[in-house]
Amino acid sequence: MSIPRRILEERFRRFVEEDIGHGDVTTEYTIPNGTVVTAHIIAKEAGVIAGIEEASMFIESFGLEVDPLIEDGSKIRERTPILHIEGDAATLLSIERTLLNLLSRMSGIATTTNRLLEKIYQAGYKTRVASTRKTAPGLLHFDKKAVIIGRGDAHRRGLDDMVLIKDNHISIVGSAKEAIEKVRERVSFSKKIEVEVTNIDDALEAAKTGVDIIMLDNFSPKQAKEAIDLLERNQLRTKVLVEASGGITEQNILEYASTGVDVVSLGEITHSAKVLDISLDIINIKKQKF
Amino acid sequence: MSIPRRILEERFRRFVEEDIGHGDVTTEYTIPNGTVVTAHIIAKEAGVIAGIEEASMFIESFGLEVDPLIEDGSKIRERTPILHIEGDAATLLSIERTLLNLLSRMSGIATTTNRLLEKIYQAGYKTRVASTRKTAPGLLHFDKKAVIIGRGDAHRRGLDDMVLIKDNHISIVGSAKEAIEKVRERVSFSKKIEVEVTNIDDALEAAKTGVDIIMLDNFSPKQAKEAIDLLERNQLRTKVLVEASGGITEQNILEYASTGVDVVSLGEITHSAKVLDISLDIINIKKQKF
Amino acid sequence: MSIPRRILEERFRRFVEEDIGHGDVTTEYTIPNGTVVTAHIIAKEAGVIAGIEEASMFIESFGLEVDPLIEDGSKIRERTPILHIEGDAATLLSIERTLLNLLSRMSGIATTTNRLLEKIYQAGYKTRVASTRKTAPGLLHFDKKAVIIGRGDAHRRGLDDMVLIKDNHISIVGSAKEAIEKVRERVSFSKKIEVEVTNIDDALEAAKTGVDIIMLDNFSPKQAKEAIDLLERNQLRTKVLVEASGGITEQNILEYASTGVDVVSLGEITHSAKVLDISLDIINIKKQKF
Amino acid sequence: MSIPRRILEERFRRFVEEDIGHGDVTTEYTIPNGTVVTAHIIAKEAGVIAGIEEASMFIESFGLEVDPLIEDGSKIRERTPILHIEGDAATLLSIERTLLNLLSRMSGIATTTNRLLEKIYQAGYKTRVASTRKTAPGLLHFDKKAVIIGRGDAHRRGLDDMVLIKDNHISIVGSAKEAIEKVRERVSFSKKIEVEVTNIDDALEAAKTGVDIIMLDNFSPKQAKEAIDLLERNQLRTKVLVEASGGITEQNILEYASTGVDVVSLGEITHSAKVLDISLDIINIKKQKF
Amino acid sequence: MSIPRRILEERFRRFVEEDIGHGDVTTEYTIPNGTVVTAHIIAKEAGVIAGIEEASMFIESFGLEVDPLIEDGSKIRERTPILHIEGDAATLLSIERTLLNLLSRMSGIATTTNRLLEKIYQAGYKTRVASTRKTAPGLLHFDKKAVIIGRGDAHRRGLDDMVLIKDNHISIVGSAKEAIEKVRERVSFSKKIEVEVTNIDDALEAAKTGVDIIMLDNFSPKQAKEAIDLLERNQLRTKVLVEASGGITEQNILEYASTGVDVVSLGEITHSAKVLDISLDIINIKKQKF
Amino acid sequence: MSIPRRILEERFRRFVEEDIGHGDVTTEYTIPNGTVVTAHIIAKEAGVIAGIEEASMFIESFGLEVDPLIEDGSKIRERTPILHIEGDAATLLSIERTLLNLLSRMSGIATTTNRLLEKIYQAGYKTRVASTRKTAPGLLHFDKKAVIIGRGDAHRRGLDDMVLIKDNHISIVGSAKEAIEKVRERVSFSKKIEVEVTNIDDALEAAKTGVDIIMLDNFSPKQAKEAIDLLERNQLRTKVLVEASGGITEQNILEYASTGVDVVSLGEITHSAKVLDISLDIINIKKQKF
C-alpha cells in the first residue's frame, strides 16, 4: 500500500460527493432506515482485476464491511465474485455506481496492459510496457496503479518523478545538448534524466551525454532498430536505457519489441482502455432494528 | 456556462496539483524564468471538439491568456488549431498534459456521442442518445458536459437529479409497485420518476402507475418493440417516455432506434470512448525581462 | 439517509473548526484529561424535532457515543430529552454550541413548516407547503431536510434540480414563450420545467406550452383563483401543476390554499423561522483513567 | 476589513457550490453565452444594511464588477438600491440567490440588533447589546459581523476568544471557585476571564476572585438589580463587568438595562432574526460578442 | 484537549499527503502486504517532551494502535521510549518521518521554553516567558501548544486573540493615543488591549489610557527598569501588565527578569528552537494473514 | 517556477487563515477602510535570501502589488530592502507576520546551507550538501526550495521521489540484499535506488548489487574513508554514488568532505536552522477614496 488509506479516503469522498449532490433521492424515498444487505461485486467479463485494495478502503470508509474474494492482479473468468460487502443498504446504493466506475476503469486498464505484456512475453521478448501521463484528469494515481497491477511499468508518476526533457523544453532552450547541460548543473543526484529524441543522430548525441534514458519519439520500428544498432556500434547500448514512444499500438507492438528497445510506452492503455464490466448484486436483505 | 468559473477553477487546480506533486522538475531545470511563449492547441484527428470553455477557464486560471479558435461542438478536420495561448512558458508546460487530457477525453466523448446520434438521424429516427452515470470517478461534470456538446442527452447528472428506481431498490422494497408508491408519498412535485423494468408485463404495470419514464433494462430490440406495442394497445404510449438501456452498442443501436423507444442510453460513450488526439505546439518564444 | 455520513461529517468538521479556532480555551483550562460524561440533549419547547439523524452522525464523528431517544419528525412536548450522549467531556463541550445550533435551527424550520401544513389540512385542503431556496448560505441541505421532516415539500434542492424559468431569465430572453422553447430544444428528458408568470394571461399561455408547473408569482388569492378558473375553462387544469409563491404568510396561507393551487411556497419557513429552544444537560460525570 | 478577501472568497465559493450542484440548468438552457447585464440589488424594506463589504468581495470573486451604493451600517428606507453590478448574465443569475441570502440575513441581524440598541439608548441607558454564539452553523463570522455593523457587541467570536466558565464546566470541576483557580494557573495574560453565575451569592464570590466579567445567567431583572447592589455594597462594582444573559427579549430588554448591568446578551438577534427583504433587478441587457 | 481530534486529523492528513505524493515507493516495493510491527518512538536526547497527545491522534487517525508511555510536559532522560505503536508496517513507515518531525519540533520548542523558564525561576524571579507569533507557517497551533507544554505563555494565539497595537498601526493612525481611542470605541468588552511603546514617556502615556498591557519594544534592561520605576512613581504599576519584547535572548533574559517586567517574550523559542532528536525503532515484526 | 502560482496560493491562504481566525481585530479597529500604504520588506541581517518568488506570489494573491528588489539566492548585507509592496493597509498588516515567517525561515535555511557549502568549496572539496526529509511538517516544499536556493541538493523531495531502502525496511524484509531484489523486480525504470548501510561490508555488498547510491549511515569520517577505499579496491567506486548521513554537523563537515564521499546530508539545515531576521517597514501612507 503506497498511499495510506486516510489519504485515499478523502478522494473517495470527493468522488461520491460529486455524484450524490443534494442527496440520493431514490434511496431516500424507497429504502427503509436500518435496512442491511449483503452483496457481491461481480466481474461479468474475464480479465485482470485491479482496484481490490482501493475498493476495500472505499467501502470501509463509508462504514460498510468488506471481504475481498480475490487479490489485485488476479486473472479471473467471467462472472467471478470479487468482493463481498455487508452493511447499510442506503449507503451501499449511494456509492454503488462510483465504486463500480473505479473498479471497472482500473480493471480495464490492468487487463489491457497485461494483454499487451503477454503478447510480448509469448513472442519471447522482454520489453517492458509502460504507461504515459495520458490518464484521465484527477485519476493519475488510480490509472498508474492499475498499470502496475497489470504488470506494466508506471513510468513517471507525475511531473516530479524524473527529468524528462521533451521537444517543447528543447525548442525553448535551443538544443537537447544545452538542455541536458542545464539540468546537469542543478539536478539532484537522486533523479534520473531522460531525453526525447526525434532522429537517430540525436539519439547518439544524447547517449554520449550520459543521460540515463533515451526516448525515441515516433520512430518507426525500422528507425528504432537503426538507433539501437548505432548505439551498439558506438558501445553505448549498455550505458543507456532506450524507450520507444508514439504511434505504438496493440497491432504493431511486437514489431517494436523486436527492435531491442528496453521499454515501449503507449497512452491508450490509460486514456482509452475499454472498461471491464463489473456489477453489484444484492444477495441478502435484512431489516435491522433502528 | 452552467457552473461558474470560480468553482471549476478549483477542480482544475486539484487536477494539476496531483500531477505536479513536489514540482515539475524538468521545467524547473530547463526553462529560464520569465520566458513567454505563444502556443496552439491542435486537434490532430477529425472529430467534435468539447472542452473549449473548460480549457479556456483552466488556462486563464493559471494566469495565461487564451483565445478560443472554435466553439464547443464544432466538427473539425484533422490538424485544426482549436486554442491559441500566450504566457509564461514554465506554467504552460506544467499544465500542458493535464489540459490535453481533459480536452482529449471530452472531445472523444463528444465525438462518439455525436457519431451515434448522426447514425440514428441519418436512418430517419428521432431517438435520443443518452449517457449513463458510468463515467470516470470525479469527472461526472466533464463527461456529461461532453455528452451534451455531442448533442446527446445527459440523463441524470447525479443521484439527486430524478428518481430512478432500479432493480436493487425494487428487490429491497419488494416490488416495483410498492417502490413507486413509497416514492409518490414523499417525492417533491419538482421531480420526475423513472422505473426500471425487466419484462414486458412489468413495463405495462409501471406505465399504469403513471410514472414519467420507463427504462427497459436489457431488452432485446424485439422485446423492446413488444413493450412499445403493448403500451400502445393499452393507450399508455403517449403518457410515458420509454428508454432502452443495457446491451446497446454502436452496432445494434439502429435496431433499438427502430423499435420506437424515445431514448437509448449506453455507458460506453462515457466510460470507454476513444479519446481524440490533441496536442500542444509552441509557435513562438520570447524572453521577458524579469 | 440521502447523503452518506462520510460526506456530512466533513461539513460538521468545518462548522466546529470555525467556532473552535485556536482552541476551546475554557475547556482546555478547566476539564481534566480523560473526564467522561453522560449528557442529554433536551428540547425545552414543544415542537417537531428535526436533525436527530444529522446530530447523531455529528456526535459520532467526533468520537462520542449517541443514542437517539426519538425519531426525526416526532412532535414532542416541552422538556423532552431527544438524544443521550456519552464520551469525552472536553470534546462534548467543544462541539456543544455548534451541535445545538444545528438542531435548534432544523427543529425550528420543521416546526414552522409543520404548523402551516396542519393549518391547511385542518381546514380541509390538500395544498402542499413548499420551501424556496431562501435558506441560510451553506445550509441548503440542512434547511431543506428540515422542511421535509416537517412534512413540507423541499421544492428545488438546488439550481440543478429542475428548470425554473424566472422573471430575470425571461427578461433576458425576451419572452416566456421563447425561453420555454429554448429550454425544450436542449433539456434532458429527465427534468421537469416550471415557469414563473406574473399575470393570468401569461399563466394560460404557459400552460398551453405544456410546461409541467406554473408558478403564480405574487398573485393575490383572488388572482390565483382567477388563474385556476381560467386553466379549468381551457381544460388545462389537469395538465399542469400550479404553485403560488410570493407574499404568502402564515396569516394568509389559508386564503391561498382555498384557491385550489397545488402548492404554496414561502421563504420565511427557512430564512426567518424561530429556532426551537434546545439545550444540553450533563447528567453524570466520571473520571476515566488516562 | 478583518478577514482578507482571499479567505472569504473560499467561503463564498463553497456556498455557491452547494447550490449550483451539477449546474444551473435554467441558465444553461436560456441565457446566451456572452450576455452582459447591469443590475441593482435593492433593499425592499427599511432597515440597517450589513454585508455590503462581503457582497462586494463575493460578486468580484465571481468575475463581475460591483459598485457599492451605500456603506455597511447605513439605515435605509424601503426600495433603496444598495449595490450596482455589471457582468456576465449567467454567472450573476447563478449566484443571485446565494448572494441575496447572505445580504438578507446579515441585514436582518444588523437591523434587529440596532433596533434593540436604539431602544436602550433612547431610554437613556448605556447598556451594551451583545450577541451569543447561537448563530447558524458555519455562519459565525457573518452573523457576528452583522451584529457589529448593527452597533452591537460581538462578544466571544469563537471558543478561543476569552475564557467563559459556564455551568457545565463548573459542574465537572466541582465549583466555580475551583474552576477559576484552575484557569488562573494556566491562562495566558492575554485573555479575559468570565464566569457564569446562577445566584446572587455566587456573583459576589466570583467578583471576589477577581474575574473580569460575571455573567448573570437567567436572572430576572429584579435579581440582576440585587446582584448589582450587592457588588456595590462590597465595593466590587467597578472592578468587574456585569453581563445579563438568558431570557432577555425585545419586550423586557429595558427592564434589564435599568438594572445597571453593563451588557445584555441575547441569542435571538442571531438565531431567529427576521431577514431583510432584498432582491435583484436587472436594469439593462446587452449582448457581448463571444 | 483544546482542538477536537477530528479537526487535527485533517491537518495530519495534509502533512502526510505532501510527503507521500504519488506513493511511498520504497515501502510499496519492499514491505509485504499485511506485515504488522510493534515499534517504539524514542527520545534520544534529554528534554521536555511535547506532542504526545498530537502524535497519538496522528497515529490512530492512520489506523494504528498507540500507547503513550509518558505525558506531555514530562522531563525525560536520553533514550527514553515515549510512545508504543502497533499496526500495519507500510502505513507506519509512510508516516514515520512526518510524525517524528512533528514530535521533534514540538519537543524542541517545549525544551527550550522550559529551560528559559527554569533559569528565571531558579534566579528567584516570577517573570512569565511568552512566545510571539514568529512560528513556522501553518504550525501556529502546534508551536503555541509546545510553548504551553514547556510552561510558557502562548501570548496571542492568532490575530484574533487580543488587540495588540503595534508600531505599524500607530504610524498609520497617527499616534498611540488615537489608536487606543479608536479601539476603545468599538472593541468588544471581551477583549484585552495591549499597546507597543518604544520609549519611557509613551509607556507612561499608554498606562494612563488604561490599556491592559504595555509592550516595551526593544527596550534595554536598563530602559525597562526605568519604565517600571516611572509607572510605580505614577501609581500605575498595579494597573497594567508590562511585557518586554525584542532583543531578548537566553543570554540576557535574567537581566530582563530582574527589571520587574511581568512577561518577557521572544521569537527564537518558536522560530529557531533546536529540535529534539527523536526516532522510531521497530521492535517486533509479525506477518498477518491477508 | 516548479509549482504553479495557483497551487501555492492555496497554501498561502491556509497559512493566513490559521493566523487570522475570526479576524485581525487590531486592524479592524484601527485602520480606516481604504488606507493604502507602501512598504519595504527588509533583511536586517546579512545572509542568502530565499522565498522572493514565493513571497511575491503570496503578496499578489492577497491583492497587493509587489516589486522584488533582489533575486532568490542573492547574498545580501544587513539592512537590505528585498521587496517593495503597495496596497491595502489592512490586508498587508493581516498577512505581515505570516509572510515574514515564511521569508525568515526560507532565508535562514538557504543561508545555513550556503555557509556549509562554501566551507566545503573553500577547502577545495566538491562534496554536495544535501538536505534530508527532516523538515517542518507541511513545509516540505518551502524547506527544500530554500535548500536548493542555498545551492544545496534537495535530495528526495518526498517519499515518492526515489527508492531509499533504510534500516527499518531491511529489518522487515530480512536483509538489504533481499530488499534490493524485491525492489528490482518491480521498480520502474525511471527510479534510482539508494540503500542505507551501517558497516563497511554491507557497503561493499550493496555496491555489488548495482544500486545507484549507497548511504553510509552514522559512519565516522574514518569509517567513511575505509568504505570509499574498499569500493575503490573493488573497482566499484565509479559505479555508485556515496552519501554520508547521520552525525554530520557544521563542525565536522570538512572531515566528511575529505573522505571522498559524493554527498553529505544533514537534517539540521532544515529542522533547526536559525531564521534570518526580516521585517516590514511602512514607508508611505495614503488614504484612498472609498
Here the cell at position A246 is: 508514439
Cβ contacts below 8 Å, chain E against chain F, sum to 202
Integer angstrom CA distances of residue A123 from A119, A131, A255, C155: 6, 20, 10, 63
* Rounded Cα gap, residues D21 and D39, in angstroms: 24
Average of per-residue pLDDT across E231-246: 97
Q: In what order do the strands lie in the sheet with F65-68?
A: F65-68, F80-88, F35-43, F278-287
* C-alpha distances in Å from residue A176, one per residue of A155, A170, A193, A206, A241: 21, 5, 12, 8, 17
- F135-185: per-residue pLDDT in tens? 999 999 999 999 999 999 999 999 999 999 999 999 999 999 999 999 999
Confidence of residue E2 (pLDDT cuts 50, 70, 90): confident
Chain A residues close to C142, C-beta within 8 Å: none
Instruction: Yes or no: say if C109 and C50 are a contact pair by the CB < 8 Å rule.
Output: yes
**Nearest to D87, CA basis, from F33, B5, C105, B104:** B5
Length of chain D in residues, anyone? 290
**Can you give the pLDDT at residue F51?**
98
- Per-residue pLDDT at F2: 86
Nearest CB to D160 within list C22, C158, C168: C22
Q: Which pLDDT tens digit goes with each residue over E56-98?
A: 999 999 999 999 999 999 999 999 999 999 999 999 999 999 9
Distance CA D74, CA C263 (A): 38
Residue among D101, D155, D99 at smallest CA distance from D128: D155
Distances (CA, A) of C273 to B273, D112, D270, F180: 50, 15, 12, 67
**Cα-based angle A148, A152, A157 (whole degrees, multiple of 5):** 60
Helix/strand/coil for F190: coil
What pLDDT score does C2 carry?
86
Q: Considering the entire predicted model, what is its pTM? A: 0.97
Nearest C-alpha in D relative to E213: D190
Could you tell me the three cell numbers for C277?
A: 429552544
CB B102 within 8 A of CB B51: yes
Partners of residue D21 in chain A, C-beta under 8 Å:
21-22
Which helix (H) or strand (E) segment holds residue F81: the answer is: strand F80-88
Whether D229 sits among the annotated catalytic residues: the reply is no
The CA distance from C113 to C130, in Å, is 8
Mean pLDDT of F239-254: 96
Q: Round to whole Å and give the CA distance between C204 and A189.
A: 77
Helices (H), E137-238: 140-149, 167-173, 176-186, 200-209, 221-233
Residues of F classed as catalytic: 97, 134, 166, 196, 217
> Which residue bears the cell 431562501?
C134
Per-residue pLDDT at D268 exceeds 80: yes
The beta strand positions in chain C, using DSSP E, are: 35-43, 47-48, 65-68, 75-76, 80-88, 128-130, 163-165, 193-197, 213-217, 241-245, 263-265, 278-287
> What pLDDT shows up at residue B288?
62
Map out the domains of chain A as residue ranges.
Answer: 5-116+274-287, 119-271
Per-residue pLDDT tens digits for E38-62: 999 999 999 999 999 999 999 999 9
- Torsion over CA: C171, C174, C175, C181 (sign): negative
Chain F partners within 8 Å of D67 (Cβ) = none
Neighbours of B126 (CB within 10 A): 9
Give the per-residue pLDDT at F288.
Answer: 62
Query: Is B16 within 8 Å of F7 when comparing Cβ atoms?
Result: yes
Cα E282 to Cα B42, E38, E103, distances in angstroms: 55, 6, 17
Under 8 Å between Cβ of B99 and B121: no
pLDDT digits (tens, 9 = 90+) for B215-248: 999 999 999 999 999 999 999 999 999 999 999 9
**Alpha carbon distances (Å) from A216 to A221, D60, D122:** 10, 49, 86
Q: Other C-beta atoms within 10 Å of C284: how many? A: 10
CA D289 to chain centre: 43
pLDDT of B290? 45
Residues 6+ apart with CB under 8 A from B51: B72, B102, B103, B105, B106, B107, B142, B145, B146, B149
Question: How far does D51 lie from chain C, in Å, by closest CA?
Answer: 13
Nearest Cα neighbor of B196 from B208, B220, B172, B180 is B180
Query: Taking phi first (over 0 means left), then psi (-120 to 50 degrees means alpha), and beta for anything else, what does residue C138 get?
Result: left
Distance CA F76, CA F70 (A): 9
What pLDDT does residue E287 have?
77
Question: Between B and F, how many CB-CB pairs are < 8 A?
Answer: 54
Vertex B146: Cα angle to B140 and B147 (nearest 5): 90
Judge: A162–F213 Cβ closer than 8 Å, yes or no.
no
Question: What element of type H or E holds B159?
Answer: none
Residue E288 has pLDDT above 70, yes or no: no
pLDDT digits (tens, 9 = 90+) for D143-154: 999 999 999 999
The answer to whether B61 contacts F6, with C-beta atoms less than 8 Å apart, is: yes
Tally of CA atoms within 13 A in the half-sphere of E127 that contains its CB: 29
**Chain A CB contacts of E15 below 8 Å:** none
**Residue B25 near chain F (CB below 8 Å):** yes
Residue C288: its pLDDT value, please? 62
- Degrees to nearest 5, angle at CA A212 with A211 and A218: 85
pLDDT at D288 (0 to 100)? 62
Rounded to whole angstroms, the Cα distance separating B52 from D33 reads: 13
Given a contact cutoff of 8 angstroms between Cβ atoms, the answer to whether A173 and A182 are in contact is yes
pLDDT class for A286, splitting at 50, 70, 90?
confident
Contact F88, F59 (CB under 8 A): no
Chain-centroid distance, C-alpha D90: 31
Phi/psi of residue D39, nearest 5 degrees = -145, 160
Give kind and range of the element (H or E) at residue C180. helix C176-186
The model's pLDDT over D190-229, given as tens digits with 9 standing for 90+, comes to 999 999 999 999 999 999 999 999 999 999 999 999 999 9
3-state DSSP assignment of residue E209:
helix
Let me know if B134 is a catalytic residue.
yes
Q: Are the beta carbons of D45 and D108 closer than 8 angstroms? A: no
Q: Which residues of C touch A90 (CB under 8 A)?
A: 1-2
Asked if pLDDT for residue D125 goes beyond 50, the answer is: yes
Band (E290; pLDDT cuts 50, 70, 90): very low
Give the 3-state secondary structure of residue A109.
helix
> Tens of pLDDT along B65-98?
999 999 999 999 999 999 999 999 999 999 999 9
Question: Quick one: E5-116+274-287 is in which CATH superfamily?
Answer: Quinolinate phosphoribosyl transferase, N-terminal domain (3.90.1170.20)
CB contact under 8 A, D2 and F23: yes
For the sheet containing A80-88, what is the strand order? A65-68, A80-88, A35-43, A278-287
Q: How, if at all, do strands B47-48 and B75-76 pair?
A: antiparallel
Residues with Cβ within 8 Å of B41's Cβ and at least 6 positions away in sequence, in order, are B55, B81, B82, B83, B85, B99, B100, B103, B278, B279, B280, B281
Q: CB neighbours (10 Å) of residue B236?
A: 18
Distance separating alpha carbons of residues B18 and D280, to the nearest angstrom: 40
DSSP SS3 for A60: helix
Cell of C213: 408547473
CA distance linking residue D154 with residue D164, whole number of Å: 14
Residue B265 phi, psi (nearest 5): -125, 140
The full length of chain C comes to 290
What is the overall mean pLDDT for chain A?
96
User: Which amino acid is present at E12?
Assistant: F
Dmax (CA) of chain C: 78
Per-residue tens of pLDDT for chain C, all 290 residues: 589 999 999 999 999 999 999 999 999 999 999 999 999 999 999 999 999 999 999 999 999 999 999 999 999 999 999 999 999 999 999 999 999 999 999 999 999 999 999 999 999 999 999 999 999 999 999 999 999 999 999 999 999 999 999 999 999 999 999 999 999 999 999 999 999 999 999 999 999 999 999 999 999 999 999 999 999 999 999 999 999 999 999 999 999 999 999 999 999 999 999 999 999 999 999 876 54
Task: Retrieve residue F285's grid coordinates.
Answer: 501612507
CA F212, CA F183: separation in Å to the nearest integer? Answer: 13
Q: Which of A269, C275, B27, A80 has the alpha carbon at shortest distance from D134?
A: C275
Residue partners of B131: CB distance under 8 A and separation at least 6: B113, B143, B144, B147, B152, B153, B154, B155, B265, B266, B267, B269, B270
CA distance B151 to B72: 11
Q: How large a percentage of chain A has pLDDT more than 70?
A: 99
What pLDDT sits at residue A290?
46
Q: Assess whether pLDDT exceeds 90 at residue B37.
A: yes
Interfacial A residues in 35-94 facing C (CB < 8 Å): 61-63, 88, 90-91, 94
Percentage of chain E beyond pLDDT 70 is 99
Instruction: Name residues 237-266 of chain C within 8 A of D (Cβ).
Output: none
CATH superfamily of E119-271: Aldolase class I (3.20.20.70)
C157 in contact with B, Cβ within 8 Å? yes
> What are F38-83's pLDDT values in tens digits?
999 999 999 999 999 999 999 999 999 999 999 999 999 999 999 9
The pairing of strands C193-197 and C213-217 is parallel
Per-residue pLDDT reduced to its tens digit, E141-180: 999 999 999 999 999 999 999 999 999 999 999 999 999 9
pLDDT at F290: 46
